[in-house]
């Protein structure tokens, strides 16, 4: 089975399971989604949603977040990993949005990636989910599954992103990255599947007997 054939199977199965996948991070607007994605680095979406519930009640715009200040932001998110740096970045990116972008979340990769704490993956999420620009954010779940499913050699997340964009139609990218994330959490988990256990791995590689070793990003 070649990559294109596997891609067809993957799309078919994921569209059946997750026809309209929701954004897993709770948010009120483009700005709060940006903050939530920044906070989610090396943290679970569940924990981020839990902590941002109160934060976004009082600071759901850049100006309100700046008024709150980095020290107070920290008090809301201190249970997250890297919370000191995240609180500082949240304050600084909010200030920069006000000063450089008229208080609005920028709508280009270049401008988004100029914000403190915003890398290519975070920018890709905002471009795809807020501005509907075809993008393919790659997180650890997508990186892992793409290797198990023979879609990439998995040297790094940027290479994985390039490989996936070559294989799947551009019209599917924005929805597909969410579908793969949900599948990776529910069926093909890091410890629960080794490339031979979940139904997708079995369907794509029915003759695979040995445990598949994935490369970390």
- Residue positions annotated with a catalytic role: 121, 139
Instruction: Identify the three-state secondary structure at position 42.
Output: coil
Q: Is 53 exposed, middle or buried (0-12, 13-18, 19+ CB in 10 A)?
A: exposed
Of 15, 26, 5, 45, the closest CA to residue 171 belongs to 15
CA-to-CA separations, 94 to 7, 35, 187, in angstroms, rounded: 39, 9, 37
> From CA 50, how far away is CA 17, in angstroms rounded?
26
40 and 28 Cβ atoms separated by less than 8 Å: no
Helix H or strand E segment including 37 = helix 30-39
Q: Mutual orientation of helices 173-186 and 120-129 as an angle, nearest 10°?
A: 110
| DSSP sequence for 117-158 | T--HHHHHHHHHHTS--------HHHHHHHHHTTS---S-HH
């Amino acid at each position: 089975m070649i990559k294109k054939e596997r891609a067809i199977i993957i799309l078919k199965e994921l569209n059946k399971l997750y026809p309209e996948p929701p954004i897993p991070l709770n948010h009120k607007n483009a700005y709060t989604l940006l903050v939530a994605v920044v906070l989610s680095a090396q943290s679970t979406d569940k924990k981020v949603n839990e902590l941002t519930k109160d934060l976004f009640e009082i600071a759901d715009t850049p100006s309100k977040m700046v008024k709150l200040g980095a020290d107070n932001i920290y008090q809301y998110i201190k249970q997250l990993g890297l919370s000191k740096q995240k609180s500082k970045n949240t304050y600084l990116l909010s200030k920069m949005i006000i000063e450089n972008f008229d208080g609005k979340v920028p709508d280009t990769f270049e401008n988004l990636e100029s914000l403190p704490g915003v890398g290519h993956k975070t920018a890709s999420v905002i471009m795809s989910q807020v501005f509907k620009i075809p993008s393919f954010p790659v997180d650890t779940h997508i990186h892992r599954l793409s290797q198990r499913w023979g879609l990439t050699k998995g040297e790094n997340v940027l290479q994985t992103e390039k490989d996936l964009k070559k294989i799947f139609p551009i019209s599917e990218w924005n929805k597909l990255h969410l579908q793969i994330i949900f599948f990776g959490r529910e069926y093909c988990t890091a410890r629960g599947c080794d490339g031979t256990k979940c139904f997708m791995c079995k369907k794509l590689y029915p003759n695979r007997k040995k445990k598949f070793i994935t490369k970390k990003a």
